[in-house]
Amino acid sequence: MDFKLTEEQLMLQETAARLVRDVYGFEHREQYRQSRHGFSDPFMQQLGDLGLCAVPFAEAYGGYGGSGVENMLIMTELGRGLCLEPYLHSVIFAGGLVDQLGTAAQKDTLLPQLGSASLQLAVALDEPQSHYQLHDVQTTAEAVSGGWKLNGRKSVIIGGQSAGLILVSARTSHGVRDEQGITVFLVDPQDSGVGRRDFATQDGRMACELYLDDVFVKSSAVLGAVGQALPALRYQQGRCMAAQCAEAVGSMEAACALTLDYLKTRQQFGQPIGKFQVLQHRMVDMRIELDQATSMTLLAACVADQADSDERSRILAAAKFIVSRASRFVADQSIQLHGGIGLTWEYMLSHHAKHLLMVARQFGDDDHHLQAYAKLLQVA
Amino acid sequence: MDIEFSVHEQAFRQDVRAFLHDNLPGELSERIALGKRLSKAHQVQWMRTLNRQGWLAPGWPVEFGGTGWSDVQKHIFDEECFAAGAPKVSSFGLKMVAPVIIKFGTTEQKAHFLPRILSCEDWWCQGYSEPGAGSDLSSLKTRAVREGDDYVVNGQKTWTTLAHFADWMFCLVRTDPEARQQRGISFLLIDMKTPGITVRPIITLDGEHEVNEVFFDNVRVPVANRVGQENEGWTCAKYLLTHERTSIGGIAQNKALLTRLKRIASQEVRDGRPLIDDPLFRTQIAEVEMQLMAAEMSSLRTLAATQNGEVPGAESSFLKIKGTEIRQAITYLISKAVGPYALPFIEDELGYGSEPLLYTDYSSAATYQYLDARKASIYGGANEIQKNIIAKMILEL
């Protein structure tokens, strides 16, 4: 057992941290948020130029061959700066799906572009009725001459507003909520019949809703074997959850630091409010929650890229559960300890809080993962 | 012991229900049911309707326009109003400054201000918190210096809710800087149109402009606009805070929110069945409903223990703490119920826009209401301060 990072990992961590520190002050973030894509194109490009977008991919595709630990190091720093770029959804989630399911030709085309940040992808799995269940797919794909015809609606696609291609899950066979019969398609948002509605999210990102109305895609747009996508969707969502936990830990660290600083400087009743024991204990509780979350994030990072197993699924569900709960606690209590100032738009803390509250609203909430874990519980 | 409502009280409930059925505009109740933002015009419209019926100020003595209802009747009225989706009446005039004017004001102040509150001619805001005086309210620094028949006010207030709509502010100012903290404070009524007042918006995390900073630069306020004795304003402030705390308990509001949660959980789907049939989610609704049941009994007990018009003691802090915790728990479950649709931040749907809905009529307000409920455990004396009050006043620790 060894918790130490390697030299290369330390360098990666330092690179990511410095990048974020340099360009992600609050005012800059506000500008990026209001810009055309809802994030900083130059910053995304910088992540590409410095090789950070290529970290998870194999060397054959110009990548670094990184694992869950490298993803964790980058995502923690992006979370600390509340970075708006769709790294998680594009590089880790969509990139992982292409890597796992794609043909050699698809990988040759897409992965180097992802790695250099010249292409951004998005993943469209949720639907209005699915409530985080990846097998609850009502969007249909019907085989037609030369390809497929897609119909349906996909929900709340983070980064979908600026994606070059969107990975869409659709039902190609079998009945409602069957685990078989789900296929992933690469859909170009510019294709005829694709409707999009863009909107902002609570935590300052951009997302879109996707409406597919008789959208024709060629056979080459299928990603992976027809009807067999569900295990890969679950596996890659697992990797993505591990990385999202790291992003939340970075954000929690920032929120805790701001709160601790406030406790030491804010004067009421003739002393810094941090002198009051009840507030000390609350801050301690936040710190303990953060520590639990950090531990589960490490554990999740270590298993994220391992072969699929019940043990891996259990750990990832546990990490997502613990981190979601901790995120909510830190968000709520950091606002409470700040008082009114914690609720203002002009202060970074409220944006961390909103981000932390939204952690549970993607890739399954705490109930979802509590039930998933309970199902896999080892009784003896 | 008898916890049943009397025949008389039940008949009263029917009367209130009938009135609401006939007079509450559907446009208003719909906005409320969906958790959308309300404009001042919406609120004024409803307050005028209540005033025409003579029901705008149930908490006031009859001679000033009160209803003469018992506390149980007031509770029933609140419950029916929230259940029907009536807008909350603005409390700054009716429930905060009016009780202070009634208890401590001069005959002239009563005659001038109270009718104007009832008619919605005057809209009020509260000048309490300052940048350096939040939970420690008595450390406030805004200064009022007597010059002839005026006070000259200098300083700054913050978190002033709806100051940008207000005609008047009731304001705590320091009139004796030498005195110990809670002495030397006076309670002034300030016309917001007086020269020297600047109102600056504070945008909150939900993107809304509700609170403000208010700056006073040599603002002249007639001495006649002081309520109570000079340097005795803390008595007024304390009286008002206790009043505020009981209404913060928000039992009726929480009941309406719980109904909303159940409706949403019945409509949302998970695994092909209504979310409310998911055992794990259903259990969480059950838990908060039981908490609310207990809080309602506590609230009724507190009401029953006070004489009509009298102010409850430190027990009102129980109500504030539990009431806000329950509100936060229900809004959390609502935000959870809508799943990924808690993420979109669509101001158009919260406000008055006309874009088609992204998903359902209730989804866009889910996170907004959760965020909005965070302030409930901060304002009106943070819950930590309420616990200090209980420790000191009730437990005598």
Tell me, yes or no, whether B286 and B391 share the same domain. Answer: yes
* Amino acid letter for position B281: F
Tell me, yes or no, whether B302 and B265 share the same domain. Answer: yes
Q: What is the pLDDT of residue B267?
A: 97
Q: Is there a contact between B136 and A361 if contact means CB atoms under 8 Å apart?
A: no
User: What pLDDT, in 10s, does the model give residues A65-122?
Assistant: 999 999 999 999 999 999 999 999 999 999 999 999 999 999 999 999 999 999 999 9
User: What pLDDT, in 10s, does the model give residues A45-54?
Assistant: 999 999 999 9
- Which residues from B are below 8 Å from A129, CB to CB? 269, 272
Chain A segment 235-294 residues within 8 A of B by beta carbon are 267-270, 273, 276, 278-279
From CA B267, how far away is CA A355, in angstroms rounded? Answer: 26
Radius of gyration, alpha carbons of chain A = 21
- CA-nearest of B50, B70, B51, B60 to B5 is B70
Is residue B98 one of the residues assigned to a domain? no
Please report the DSSP string for A288-331 in residue order. Answer: HHHHHHHHHHHHHHHHTTSPP-HHHHHHHHHHHHHHHHHHHHHH
Is residue B156 one of the residues assigned to a domain? yes
- Which residues from A are below 8 Å from B332, CB to CB? 328
User: What pLDDT, in 10s, does the model give residues B100-133?
Assistant: 999 999 999 999 999 999 999 999 999 999 999 9
Contact A339, A267 (CB under 8 A): no
- Which residues from B are below 8 Å from A176, CB to CB? 272
Tell me, yes or no, whether B217 and B277 share the same domain. Answer: no
- Which residues from A are below 8 Å from B202, CB to CB? 344, 346
Share of chain A above pLDDT 70, in %: 100
Tell me, yes or no, whether B143 and B279 share the same domain. Answer: no
Is residue B96 one of the residues assigned to a domain? no
Reported ipTM: the value is: 0.96
Tell me, yes or no, whether B39 and B71 share the same domain. Answer: yes
Tell me, yes or no, whether B207 and B268 share the same domain. Answer: no
User: What pLDDT, in 10s, does the model give residues A109-140?
Assistant: 999 999 999 999 999 999 999 999 999 999 99
Chain B closest CA to A35's CA: distance in Å?
17
Average pLDDT, chain B: 92
Q: Is there a contact between B134 and A360 if contact means CB atoms under 8 Å apart?
A: no
- Which residues from B are below 8 Å from A197, CB to CB? 358
Chain A segment 87-126 residues within 8 A of B by beta carbon are 126
Strand partners, B204: A344
User: What pLDDT, in 10s, does the model give residues B286-304?
Assistant: 999 999 999 999 888 887 7
What is the pairing mode between strands A147-158 and A206-218?
A: antiparallel
Tell me, yes or no, whether B252 and B390 share the same domain. Answer: yes
Q: Which of A334, A361, A363 to mutate to test the interface with B (most CBs of B within 10 A)?
A: A361
Residues 6+ apart with CB under 8 A from A141: A148, A149, A150, A170, A171, A172, A183, A185
Chain A closest CA to B186's CA: distance in Å?
20
Q: Is the pLDDT of residue B325 over 60?
A: yes
Domains in chain A, CATH or no CATH each: 7-119 (1.10.540.10), 123-227 (2.40.110.10), 230-378 (1.20.140.10)
- Which residues from B are below 8 Å from A89, CB to CB? none
Indicate the range of A71-80, A173-182, B181-190, B244-253 predicted with least confidence.
Answer: B244-253
∠ CA(B367), CA(B371), CA(B377), 5° rounding? 145
Contact A160, A168 (CB under 8 A): no
Radius of gyration, alpha carbons of chain B = 22
- Which residues from B are below 8 Å from A365, CB to CB? 336, 339
Please report the DSSP string for B261-276 in residue order. Answer: HHHHHHHSEETTEEGG
Q: Which of B139, B140, B205, B375 to mutate to test the interface with A (most CBs of A within 10 A)?
A: B205
Residues 6+ apart with CB under 8 A from B116: B122
Question: Measured on CA atoms in the order B73, B79, B85, B89, is the torsion positive or negative?
Answer: positive
User: What pLDDT, in 10s, does the model give residues B18-46?
Assistant: 999 999 999 999 888 888 888 889 999 99
Q: Is there a contact between A339 and B203 if contact means CB atoms under 8 Å apart?
A: no
Tell me, yes or no, whether B375 and B343 share the same domain. Answer: yes
What the block records as the tokens of A369 is: 């993962």
Q: Is there a contact between A136 and B272 if contact means CB atoms under 8 Å apart?
A: yes
Please report the DSSP string for B150-173 in residue order. Answer: EEEEEEEE-S-TTGGG-SEEEEEE
Contact A317, A372 (CB under 8 A): yes
Active site residue B121: no
SS (H, E, C) B73-109: HHHHHHHHHHHHCCCCCCHHHHHHHHHHHHHHCCHHH
Q: Does A357 touch chain B (CB under 8 A)?
A: yes
Contact B171, B154 (CB under 8 A): no
pTM metric for this prediction: 0.95
Terminal C-alpha separation, chain B: 32
Name the domain boundary from B179, B203, B231. B231
Is residue B342 one of the residues assigned to a domain? yes
Tell me, yes or no, whether B224 and B278 share the same domain. Answer: no
Q: What is the pLDDT of residue B127?
A: 96
Indicate the range of A223-237, A339-353, B52-66, B305-319 predicted with least confidence.
Answer: B305-319
Q: Is there a contact between A278 and B343 if contact means CB atoms under 8 Å apart?
A: no
Is residue B100 one of the residues assigned to a domain? no
> pLDDT confidence of B309, banded at 50, 70, 90?
low
Domain of residue B364, CATH code: 1.20.140.10
Q: Is the pLDDT of residue A333 over 60?
A: yes
Tell me, yes or no, whether B227 and B252 share the same domain. Answer: no
Name the domain boundary from B175, B200, B231. B231
> pLDDT confidence of B356, banded at 50, 70, 90?
confident
Is residue B218 one of the residues assigned to a domain? yes
Q: Is the pLDDT of residue A240 over 60?
A: yes
Q: Pseudo-torsion of CA B43, B49, B54, B59, nearest 10°?
A: -20
Burial of B61 (0-12, 13-18, 19+ CB in 10 A): middle
User: What pLDDT, in 10s, does the model give residues B71-108?
Assistant: 888 889 999 999 999 998 988 999 999 999 999 999 99
Average pLDDT, chain A: 97
Reduced to 3 states, what is the DSSP secondary structure of residue B54?
A: coil
Q: How far is CA A191 from CA A165, A188, A336, B116, B153, in A?
A: 10, 5, 48, 62, 65
Contact A21, A81 (CB under 8 A): yes
Which chain B residue lies closest to A371 (C-alpha atoms)?
Answer: B280
Q: Is there a contact between B358 and A197 if contact means CB atoms under 8 Å apart?
A: yes
Share of chain A above pLDDT 90, in %: 99
Which chain A residue lies closest to B275 (C-alpha atoms)?
Answer: A131
Of A155, A343, A360, the CB nearest to B204: A343
H helical segments located in chain A: 7-23, 26-34, 41-49, 68-80, 87, 95-101, 104-115, 230-265, 277-303, 310-338, 348-358, 366-376
How many A/B residue pairs have CB atoms within 8 Å? 131
Q: What is the pLDDT of residue B345?
A: 95
The total of structural domains in chain B comes to: 3
Q: Is the pLDDT of residue B181 over 90?
A: no
Chain A closest CA to B348's CA: distance in Å?
11
Which chain B residue lies closest to A374 (C-alpha atoms)?
Answer: B280
User: What pLDDT, in 10s, does the model give residues A164-180?
Assistant: 999 999 999 999 999 99
Q: Is there a contact between B268 and A357 if contact means CB atoms under 8 Å apart?
A: no
- Which residues from B are below 8 Å from A358, CB to CB? 342-343, 367
Residue scoring higher pLDDT (A193 or B298): A193
Q: Is the pLDDT of residue B244 over 60?
A: no
Of A156, A209, A345, the CB nearest to B203: A345
Tell me, yes or no, whether B289 and B214 share the same domain. Answer: no
Cβ neighbours around A314 below 10 Å, total = 17
Which chain A residue lies closest to B337 (C-alpha atoms)?
Answer: A131
Q: Which of B200, B210, B331, B345 to mutate to test the interface with A (most CBs of A within 10 A)?
A: B345
> pLDDT confidence of A159, banded at 50, 70, 90?
very high
Q: Is the pLDDT of residue B243 over 80?
A: no
Q: Is there a contact between B378 and A279 if contact means CB atoms under 8 Å apart?
A: no
Of B203, B207, B384, the CB nearest to A278: B384
Name the domain boundary from B89, B107, B140. B89
User: What pLDDT, in 10s, does the model give residues B192-220?
Assistant: 999 999 999 999 999 999 999 999 999 99
Q: What is the pLDDT of residue A34?
A: 95
Tell me, yes or no, whether B382 and B260 share the same domain. Answer: yes
Residue ranges making up the domain that contains B35: 7-89
Among the options B79, B130, B210, B244, which is catalytic? Answer: B244
Is residue B238 one of the residues assigned to a domain? no
Is residue B56 one of the residues assigned to a domain? yes
